A and B are shown apart, each in its own frame.
Chain A
Amino acid sequence: MSSNVMVLVEAEAGGVTDATVELIGKARELATAWGGAVEAVVLGPGEVGTGLGGADTVVRVEHPGLATYLPEAYENTLAELLVTRSPRLLMLANSTVGLDLGAALAVAWDAELVAYVVGLQTEGTTAVATAQILGGKILAEVGMAAERGVVTVVPGSFPAALGRVAGEPELVTVDAPGSLGSLRMRLERLVTPEGGDVDITAAPMLVSVGRGVGSADNIELAQEMADYLGATVSSSRPVVDAGWMPKSRQVGKSGLTVTPRAYLAFGISGAPEHLEGMRDSELIIACNTDENAPIFDVAHYGTTTDLFELLPALTGRLGG
């Protein structure tokens, strides 16, 4: 076992993701406390890209089968790297990739895993992880004392500035595992975002509805108010999953990130996945009958007024 902290690098069109840079910053802090190094793992051929200056080592596996994310290929490659490089801790973002790989690698590598991590500190050789569970209502503090650990970290939990530093990491190239030739899944095609009827990321004002709206028919109340306000209607994930709104209107982790001038949330409790997509809006006003709803922790103004009374009242005030 080493005292190193390994980070899986995720990239998108613009380079290394913010979530990755946040992980590297935190990994830097942990590795310094443990006297180890930060190893950033880059899978696939092509440019390494900038943004990894905070790492001591960049571990490359250049196999063409890793050019595009494929769960089994990534899992097999990382499983082998964990054994050969033996870090103290593996850090993944709690993204689709983290959901695929985190728990599986913890089983394969025989490590303890904490999911939904929002805080991470050292206490001697122990890592103390704070995880956000039950829709953001509870924080659980977990001592990770085992020799090997995996954490999946909620994006936005650590400042990216700590990871965005200049540096010249040592480049190490490693062979891909032979198992990449006999995978049991293959990528058929990549799907780019559906062109929706509107682009909610460009709307200056959003009226966003959540599960509390109750039914597809009730969305009309929000639409009417939004029409008078000159705003666009968006929604949280459960509303899209229920088929009440198209996917193109979804705000949050598995939808779109928005930063309108005003975000009016109706019947949205504020699960962490939703907050991730709207917390940087200039003005947030939330309406939810549960006064303890987490949405009120990020909203500037809030009310527990019933949305079925408030929406028509707003429409009336706006001239309806």
Chain B
Amino acid sequence: MRIVVPMKAVPDLVEEIEITADGTGIDREYLKFVLNEWDDQALEEALLVKEATGAEVVALGLGSDPDIDASLYTAIAKGADRAVRLTGAGEVPDTATRARAVAGYLRDHPADLVITGVQAPDDLDGQLPATLGALLGHPHVSVVVSVALVTDPPEPPAVRVRQEFAGGRAAELVVDLPAVIGLQAARQAPRYAPISRIRQVMAAGGIEQVDPGLAPGSATGASGLAVRRMHAPEKTSHAQMLTGSADEVAGQIVDLLRSRGLVKG
């Protein structure tokens, strides 16, 4: 079995995000990028499936994503068998274009299972799993919190997944392969790869580069949305800020709670 894990680098939300001079995009020049946290969860779940079944795990990134190589090497250090960097999807691909690049790759290198993050913080034109599932014509399920290969009965090959809904409700579905899974959270916290191991992998190199050509997409959606402007939200309200030493702030908080009868005395 072959599992492909498409991964995306996204702006680190801890950083301040600036808007470009024309006001229609975010200024990426000085921004720090990190691996999309849901893709990290997707990789972990793929590695758990590998441990249970011996599947091959391929980490897939787009060469235009800042610092994606670090995430790809880390994926190998964690246990992925191979890492592939795709080119030819433009500088800042939207989800539709990204999906077409991944679909182009999968057309030539088919996978039994694609596991990727359920969403990314910047996917304005929709999320990758459903877009990719529709482009490939594969069944797809999002907001998934566990994936396991169905071993009985063995035909047709299928996975059993748990899909979550609001309020803690969930459903267990059996999905025929090939399928695309949008992962919310892996069954365990993403594993840690020691820096020394990542350095070792980096020194060995070995990221394969592929120009897949874009798979045909939807004529309307693939060209990108007409973003008129981006801006930080106007604050309709803002917390009254408490200042002072930690002890003084603690005192003010306790007073607030006391005034509402929530702290006795």
Contact = CB atoms under 8 A, between A and B. Distances in A.
Contacts of B140: 71, 100, 104
Contacts of B227: 140-142
Contacts of A202: none
Interface residues of B, number: 91
Q: B interface, by DSSP: helix, strand, loop or mixed? A: mixed
Contacts of A262: 257, 260, 262
B163 A96 contact: yes
A106 B223 CA distance: 13
Nearest to B41: A241
B215 to A, nearest CB: 11
A215 B54 CA distance: 31
A120 interface: no
A191 B221 contact: no
Contacts of B188: 243
A247 B189 contact: no
A64 interface: no
Nearest to B233: A139
Contact of A103 (B26, B37, B127, B139): B127
B256 A283 contact: yes
Given A96-B166, A133-B121, A313-B249, A71 B141 contact: yes
Nearest to B176: A184
A313 B253 CA distance: 11
Nearest to A147: B220
Interface residues of A, number: 105
Contacts of B131: 103-104, 106-107
Contacts of B109: none
Interface in A1-39: 12
Interface in B1-43: 11, 13-14, 16-17, 19, 26, 37, 41
A143 B119 CA distance: 22
A205 interface: yes
Nearest to A277: B166
Contacts of B186: 241
Contacts of A238: 37
B26 A134 contact: yes
A187 B162 CA distance: 10
Interface of A: 12, 68-72, 95-96, 99-108, 110-116, 128, 131-146, 148, 152, 183-194, 204-205, 229, 237-238, 240-244, 247-248, 253-257, 261-262, 264, 269, 282-286, 290-292, 294, 296-306, 309-310, 312-314, 316-318
Q: Can you list the 5 inter-chain pairs with the closest CB atoms, starting with the nearest?
A: A103-B126, A193-B168, A302-B239, A309-B246, A107-B134
28 contacts: A71-B140, A96-B166, A99-B127, A103-B128, A104-B134, A107-B218, A110-B218, A110-B219, A110-B221, A128-B228, A185-B139, A188-B173, A188-B174, A190-B172, A191-B172, A193-B168, A193-B169, A204-B262, A240-B185, A243-B188, A254-B166, A282-B260, A286-B239, A302-B240, A306-B246, A313-B247, A313-B250, A316-B250
